[in-house]
Homo-oligomer: A and B are copies of this chain.
Amino acid sequence: MERPRHQGMAKNTYMRWRLPLVCLLWEVAMIILFGVFVRFGPEADAHWEEEKQEMNLTSDIENDFYFRYPSFQDVHVMIFVGFGFLMTFLKRYGFGAVGFNFLLAAFGIQWALLMQGWFHSFKSGKILIGVENLINADFCVGSVCIAFGAILGKTSPIQLLIMTLFQVTLFAVNEYILLNLLHIKDAGGSMTIHTFGAYFGLTVTRILYRPNLEQSKDKQGSVYHSDLFAMIGTLYLWMYWPSFNSAISEHGDAQHRAAINTYCSLAACVLTTVAFSSMLQKKGKLDMVHIQNATLAGGVAVGTSAEMMLTPYGSLIVGFICGIVSTVGYVYLTPFLESRLHIQDTCGIHNLHAMPGLIGGIVGAITAAAATEDVYGKEGFIKAFDFTGTYQTRTPSVQGGFQAAGIVVSLLMAFAGGALVGAILKLPFWGDAAAENCFEDDIYWEVPEDEESDVYHMHNPDKPASP
């Protein structure tokens, strides 16, 4: 039994030929490009035995695989389960949240391997990949998952794939400018992933503004169990964030330190989130939206500085501030952005990624500028900021300046890229749903008829179900 109200849709959301065509064509393109360009890096190639002798390594344990694979798997979980389930909070958009996230990330990692490969792992005409490339591809896709949060429930899967194609491309360009041209540090991606991804997504959703979105307001809330599903996403993001921020840091102390700093920042963030969630509600009750999101802001905000000597108490301070900023953002800023600036931000990524990402960039700039040989040790200082070769003479304060410039570049790239992509997605033939059908899986998915939803339609046909 099809629900009648969807029959008379104003918009054509029929995906049968468009979606398969995009998926198949793009995957064929991936195969061709991988065939031409992508090969195993020396540590994954069967010539490794010879490589080991050349590099004078005595044991297989020196293979980068053993330094980074556990972190890679944690990051992988964050992208697919973390982001996927975090967005299942909507009562009738769980399939879309976890399913479309799955789709765009699966495409995105392939395209990111190519784009990032051309910029960073290109040797004699081939992209040589290893576990670090897999992590970087996940990172890149992470920025798309963030942007997806802003437009969640309002776009077709084709639009998401198109956004992924462009955003991954721009991500790689921005990352190249920051890491290679400006020679800045951003191991956990406060700037490259969060600031860029969030402002990109916010620009896209601004351009796709839907004036009549309140028509689907009854579906924009959660139900009891959808909030619990979302907590799976939250917790996996929270628990594995130390792996995220340390995954591509230098072997040894830097990876170790990045994990500890992130752990501390996240712990502090939980307490201030709870404090402000209770404080800002009339009856002092906690709001699941804050617990699901603002508790993670601390991880975002040490993304740049985690591998630096931020110190545990420095991390606590950053987490402390971000829990407050993010929770206050959910209560006051999100409604303001929607009503005044027409930015409809479904998941509130402005509070979870945009502001904490900016803070993270600034904290990174300050921490870098404050670095001394005394604190890092002579060798450690050079290693931490890679002050070698052309950059041998760069001072900490100059480094801090370049770090700050990285924030600005990321913002500009995000606004320009988001505007371009938003304009493309506004074209009328991508199959997005009408305003009254947003946040509803039924448009793009075969949805089982639940007992409870039958009852719902019997008894409460017109009642808005949730705040």
Instruction: Identify the A interface with B (CB < 8 A).
Output: 14-17, 19-21, 23-24, 26-28, 30-31, 34-35, 38-40, 43-50, 52, 59-67, 69-71, 73-74, 76-77, 80-81, 84-85, 88, 91-92, 94-95, 98-99, 102-103, 106-107, 109-110, 113, 129-131, 134, 157, 221-225, 227-229, 231-232, 235-236, 238-240, 242-243, 251-257, 259-260, 263-264, 266-268, 270-272, 274-276, 278-279, 281-288, 291, 295, 309, 311-313, 316-317, 320, 375-377, 379-381, 383-384, 444-456, 458-460, 465-467
- With A236-B81, A449-B465 in contact, is A70–B67 under 8 Å at CB? no
Q: Is the CB of B467 within 8 A of A448?
A: yes
A467 and B453 CA atoms in complex are apart in Å by: 15
CB distance from A259 to the nearest CB of B (A): 7
- Which one of A52, A67, A263, A458 has the highest number of Cβ atoms from chain B below 10 Å of its Cβ? A263
- With A40-B311, A286-B444 in contact, is A103–B271 under 8 Å at CB? yes
In the complex, which residue of chain B has the Cβ closest to the Cβ of A298?
B106
- Which one of A21, A48, A222 has the highest number of Cβ atoms from chain B below 10 Å of its Cβ? A48
Q: Is the CB of A271 within 8 A of B46?
A: no
Residues in B whose Cβ lies below 8 Å from that of A81:
232, 235-236, 239
A236 and B313 CA atoms in complex are apart in Å by: 31
Q: Is the CB of B259 within 8 A of A131?
A: yes
Q: Is the CB of B76 within 8 A of A267?
A: no
Helix, strand, loop or mixed for chain A's interface? helix
Copies held by the complex? 3
A317 and B320 CA atoms in complex are apart in Å by: 48
Residues in B whose Cβ lies below 8 Å from that of A40:
257, 260, 309, 311-312
* 22 sample A-B contacts, Cβ–Cβ < 8 Å, listed by A number: A15-B284, A15-B285, A16-B278, A19-B278, A20-B275, A23-B274, A31-B268, A38-B311, A47-B376, A50-B379, A92-B224, A99-B231, A106-B266, A106-B270, A113-B312, A222-B448, A225-B229, A227-B448, A285-B446, A449-B466, A449-B467, A454-B460
A73 and B320 CA atoms in complex are apart in Å by: 23
Residues in B whose Cβ lies below 8 Å from that of A49:
253, 377, 379-380, 383
Partner of A227, one of B95, B284, B291: B95
Residues in B whose Cβ lies below 8 Å from that of A17:
279, 284
In the complex, which residue of chain B has the Cβ closest to the Cβ of A103?
B274
- Contacts A40-B260, A222-B448 aside, 17 further interface pairs with beta carbons under 8 A come to A23-B275, A27-B268, A30-B316, A47-B376, A60-B251, A65-B252, A65-B259, A94-B224, A102-B235, A107-B267, A221-B448, A232-B232, A281-B446, A287-B446, A450-B465, A451-B455, A458-B459
